[in-house]
């Protein structure tokens, strides 16, 4: 599946179901969220400065901009790691083989060769 740039573009929002919702807190204005970091990766100072400048642009245009704090990123990484490695990375390996690409182990698990999960140890948090 390729990336659908049109679906993510900030144009024709009224045509995209669920992309524009009235919000009481924002008086119905288009609102942009800035994710400063995900509690794992933090931007270098020049990038943080640019993000601050980017946040000002919607504000000067009469729009809203809010700080977006992602929910428990380390836990999310753990969950997606378990999902991706539940089959020992077989699905990722097959996809990479189709494209003639090598497997990036960090996609499969924690950077190590993945181990198969049994039904007894596949519960989250165990």
What is the rounded CA–CA span in Å between residue 44 and residue 63? 27
d(CA 120, CA 126): 9
Tokens 């919000």, residue?
A: 23
| Model confidence pLDDT, tens digit, residues 11-58 | 666 655 554 455 555 566 778 888 898 888 899 999 999 999 989 988
Spatial neighbors of 96 by CB under 8 A, at least 6 apart, are 102, 103
Q: Is pTM beyond 0.75 here?
A: no
């Amino acid at each position: 599946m390729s990336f659908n740039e049109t679906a993510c573009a900030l144009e024709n929002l009224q045509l995209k179901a669920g992309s524009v919702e009235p919000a009481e807190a924002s008086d119905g204005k288009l609102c942009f969220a800035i994710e400063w970091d995900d509690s794992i990766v933090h931007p270098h100072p020049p990038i943080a400065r640019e993000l601050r400048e980017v946040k000002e642009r919607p504000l000067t245009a009469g729009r809203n901009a809010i700080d977006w704090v992602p929910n428990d990123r380390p836990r999310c990484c753990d969950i997606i790691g378990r999902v991706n490695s539940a089959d020992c990375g077989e699905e990722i390996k097959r996809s990479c083989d189709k494209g003639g690409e090598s497997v990036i182990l960090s996609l499969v698990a924690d950077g190590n060769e993945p181990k198969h999960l049994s039904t007894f140890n596949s519960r989250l948090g165990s």
